[in-house]
Structure 1
Amino acid sequence: MTHSFAVPRSVEWKETAITILNQQKLPDVTEYLELTTKEDVFDAIVTLKVRGAPAIGITAAFGLALAAKDIDIKQYLNSSRPTAINLSWALERLSHSIENAISVNEAKTNLVHEAIQIQVEDEETCRMIGQNALQLFKKGDRIMTICNAGSIATSRYGTALAPFYLAKQKDLGLHIYACETRPVLQGSRLTAWELMQGGIDVTLITDSMAAHTMKEKQISAVIVGADRIAKNGDTANKIGTYGLAILANAFDIPFFVAAPLSTFDTKVKSGADIPIEERDPEEVRQISGVRTAPTDVPVFNPAFDITPHDLISGIITEKGIMTGSYEEEIEQLFRGEKVH
């Protein structure tokens, strides 16, 4: 028996504008915004109206296409989220697409076509990641995740959430435990909402419940997405991921990272060299505009943390699953060799 799933698209190209699903308003309001200027695109990325490394890259690619006459905006858009490597990857790919253009019209046509191609490829890439990941799970498994590495963070399917959609289509009955993901609550606002939209069995927990839940609910595995993966396999992902990896190690639970090749940064030797974005302290001092802390309390608000490669049981890509010496396997991957 197979089942379909229905989750709104996060990004769509409309010739003179980019339409995005406003992820700031979820789950209460399903709102779509039209972005028509480079400032609109920059703001949408910085304020998390659009988020998720692949979706950020797709939006920035369309943003560059919107402003074909102003190729200098590449660096402007690239500065909007420094940790997610897909952003600079997509912008670089678009820049290459117009190197031989002889007019502004030709440049814009090339940019639009390349951006659309990135979006189409991302959907297939995510489907393959899901297919590869699904072999790691069996019917009835209970799996934990954090943040939102789902369909609305990509073109479709997602990365870490992709196997759950494919499992739903095959009626495999996986049960997902989603951490809330403080301070911006991507897990509770987005992952829980998205999986429920797709008819997938999901239970929400607060981040501080992870250890107890792993023990009491007999969690089978943890799977997360990634915003950048270093040459040695160290992985940057949403803050709280490192803690989950430590807990998974303590409970002897497999900890998997799911990401496309575009998320790997082979110029970066280790996680120590990955820039970590720090965000507005008000994200921690309040929740949805309601103050929950003293106005002037100092805040440390890193958006990401680094999970060392030795805590990662496997890295799942569209080309296969790496489980051994990550540096060697990542080199093989980028030489075009298939991993197991």
Structure 2
Amino acid sequence: MTVDSSDNDLSPTIETVGWVGSAQNGCVRLIDQTLLPGMFTRIDCQTVDQVWEAIKMLRVRGAPAIGIAAAFGALLGARSQGTESIESVRSALHDATAHLRTSRPTAVNLFWALDRMDRTVEAEASRLSDPSALLERLLTEARAIQDEDRAMCRSIGRFGAELLKPGQGVLTHCNAGGLATADYGTALAVIFSAAEQGKSVHVFADETRPLLQGARLTAWELQRRGIPVTLICDNMAAQVMKEGRVQAVVVGADRIAANGDTANKIGTYSVALAARAHDIPFYVAAPSSTFDLSLPDGASIPIEQRDPREITHGFGYATAPEGIEVYNPAFDVTPATLITALITERGVIRPATREAIRDLIGS
């Protein structure tokens, strides 16, 4: 794994993760988000294990970005056992996707992207005779996943911006911006699009304990884009709503069940309850790839449990007694009944019901 900290890219669109070089000799390049906002560093991953570690340790995070990283990581794996035969590439690809599936359990985009890579190698292995050509086809598929996400982000932004009014205060939780996707974000795409339309929204960003993705990442993205943003602690959200500073809530998602129940970063459910209590619309912005229609409801969504030290030793400092028992779920599930609308690249689903989801997303 190589590191480059010299490229402090401040262009409007951040390429969080991508592929550099040829299919035979290239690598996965990603921003190490664990170092932001203090240091902007890109990492080059040369192996499947390095991509797995980057996903597991949140160097790359956000459901769409995880899927893109995994797809490129699968290509690294496809060539890891040599390229002497089509079968060696095919076998290595399947080994890589199986390994990458164990990195994080909740975000469905990870599994969706790896399924696409598996299907691609099966479809092309019988058609192609040159292993190098098969690698090129796998790179094309991984880049297609990335390009499709870019387009979906822009479309989500356009649909979502129509739900916001000029001058509104908008609260968001965790990070669902360019750092979490291939381009524009999901929740932040709504805000970016609204700003581009001249609606002048003001964002309240929850810090998002325990790893502070809202403080470290969302506030950083919004500030560098010139969007007015105020950072608040997670436990201030209800008070900010009560004071009339917030007129809408927009969050992202890691998995959406068939009935609209939505898994997102821990604390999202509390925000949804506060929004309902204050009669504030609660919107979830996510691409169609985040829907898992095989799961009937949120009770079926697997919830990742993370290292207790994220709570007891946040950023290297002891903040709790040694040996204390810790419960650290990375996500919670917001019931569809608390969601005003689901914003997708295909349109707005309102209300968030099983029937409305089936009509727009499919069965």
- TM > 0.5 fold call: yes
Aligned residues: 333
Which amino acid in the other structure matches residue 86 of structure 1?
A: N
Residue 343 of structure 2 is matched in structure 1 by 316
Aligned partners of 1:164, 1:288: CA distance in 2, in Å?
A: 29
1:79 aligned to 98, 102, 107, which one?
Answer: 102
- Preserved contact between residue 7 and residue 194 of structure 1 (Cα < 8 Å): no
1:62 aligned to 52, 72, 77, which one?
Answer: 72
Aligned partners of 2:270, 2:263: CA distance in 1, in Å?
A: 12
Alpha-carbon distance change, 112 to 223 in structure 1, aligned in 2, over 3 angstroms: same
1:40 aligned to 43, 47, 50, which one?
Answer: 50
2:270 aligned to 243, 253, 268, which one?
Answer: 243
1:157-176 paired onto structure 2 within 5 Å: 157-176=184-203
2:12 aligned to 6, 22, 40, which one?
Answer: 6
Q: Which is worse superposed, 81-90 or 168-177?
A: 168-177
TM-score, structure 2 normalization: 0.89
Aligned partners of 1:58, 1:5: CA distance in 2, in Å?
A: 20
- Preserved contact between residue 226 and residue 235 of structure 1 (Cα < 8 Å): yes
1:126 aligned to 138, 142, 153, which one?
Answer: 153
- Preserved contact between residue 149 and residue 160 of structure 1 (Cα < 8 Å): yes
Q: Secondary structure at the match of 1:161?
A: helix
Aligned partners of 1:328, 1:297: CA distance in 2, in Å?
A: 45
Which amino acid in the other structure matches residue 33 of structure 1?
A: I
Alpha-carbon distance change, 165 to 116 in structure 1, aligned in 2, over 3 angstroms: same
2:116 aligned to 93, 96, 103, which one?
Answer: 93
Aligned partners of 1:169, 1:218: CA distance in 2, in Å?
A: 21
1:29 aligned to 9, 15, 39, which one?
Answer: 39
Alpha-carbon distance change, 325 to 243 in structure 1, aligned in 2, over 3 angstroms: closer
In the alignment, is residue 111 of structure 1 matched against residue 138 of structure 2?
yes
Residue 196 of structure 1 is matched in structure 2 by 223
- Preserved contact between residue 5 and residue 197 of structure 1 (Cα < 8 Å): no
Return the offset for 1:96.
Answer: 1.4
Q: Choose 1 or 2 for highest CA Rg.
A: 2
Q: Secondary structure at the match of 2:187?
A: coil
Unpaired stretches in structure 1, ≥5 consecutive residues: none
Alpha-carbon distance change, 325 to 175 in structure 1, aligned in 2, over 3 angstroms: closer
CA-to-partner distance for each residue in 1:3-22, whole Å, 9 max, x for gaps?
A: x9724310121121111011
1:140-179 paired onto structure 2 within 5 Å: 140-179=167-206
- Preserved contact between residue 336 and residue 352 of structure 2 (Cα < 8 Å): no
Which amino acid in the other structure matches residue 105 of structure 1?
A: S
- Preserved contact between residue 239 and residue 302 of structure 1 (Cα < 8 Å): yes
Aligned partners of 2:164, 2:103: CA distance in 1, in Å?
A: 36
CA-to-partner distance for each residue in 1:51-106, whole Å, 9 max, x for gaps?
A: 00000000000001122131111111011110000000001111111223234322
Return the offset for 1:208.
Answer: 0.6
CA-to-partner distance for each residue in 1:117-168, whole Å, 9 max, x for gaps?
A: 1111101100000100000001101000000000110001100000221223
Which amino acid in the other structure matches residue 205 of structure 1?
A: I
Return the offset for 1:107.
Answer: 2.2
- Preserved contact between residue 339 and residue 352 of structure 2 (Cα < 8 Å): no
- Preserved contact between residue 349 and residue 360 of structure 2 (Cα < 8 Å): no
Return the offset for 1:211.
Answer: 0.7
In the alignment, is residue 293 of structure 1 matched against residue 293 of structure 2?
no
Alpha-carbon distance change, 166 to 5 in structure 1, aligned in 2, over 3 angstroms: farther
Q: Which is worse superposed, 259-268 or 66-75?
A: 66-75
Which amino acid in the other structure matches residue 49 of structure 1?
A: R
Aligned partners of 2:262, 2:319: CA distance in 1, in Å?
A: 31
Residue 242 of structure 2 is matched in structure 1 by 215
- Preserved contact between residue 203 and residue 230 of structure 2 (Cα < 8 Å): yes
Aligned partners of 1:170, 1:188: CA distance in 2, in Å?
A: 26
Q: Which is worse superposed, 8-17 or 34-43?
A: 8-17
Return the offset for 1:332.
Answer: 1.2
Return the offset for 1:325.
Answer: 5.4
Aligned partners of 2:190, 2:255: CA distance in 1, in Å?
A: 20
Q: Secondary structure at the match of 1:114?
A: helix
Return the offset for 1:316.
Answer: 0.4
TM-score, structure 1 normalization: 0.95
Aligned partners of 2:296, 2:321: CA distance in 1, in Å?
A: 40
Alpha-carbon distance change, 5 to 252 in structure 1, aligned in 2, over 3 angstroms: farther
1:261-272 paired onto structure 2 within 5 Å: 261-272=288-299
Residue 83 of structure 2 is matched in structure 1 by none
- Preserved contact between residue 227 and residue 237 of structure 1 (Cα < 8 Å): yes
Aligned partners of 2:28, 2:39: CA distance in 1, in Å?
A: 19
Q: Secondary structure at the match of 2:35?
A: coil
Which amino acid in the other structure matches residue 97 of structure 2?
A: K
Aligned partners of 1:324, 1:127: CA distance in 2, in Å?
A: 22
- Preserved contact between residue 180 and residue 188 of structure 1 (Cα < 8 Å): yes
Unpaired stretches in structure 2, ≥5 consecutive residues: 1-9, 79-88
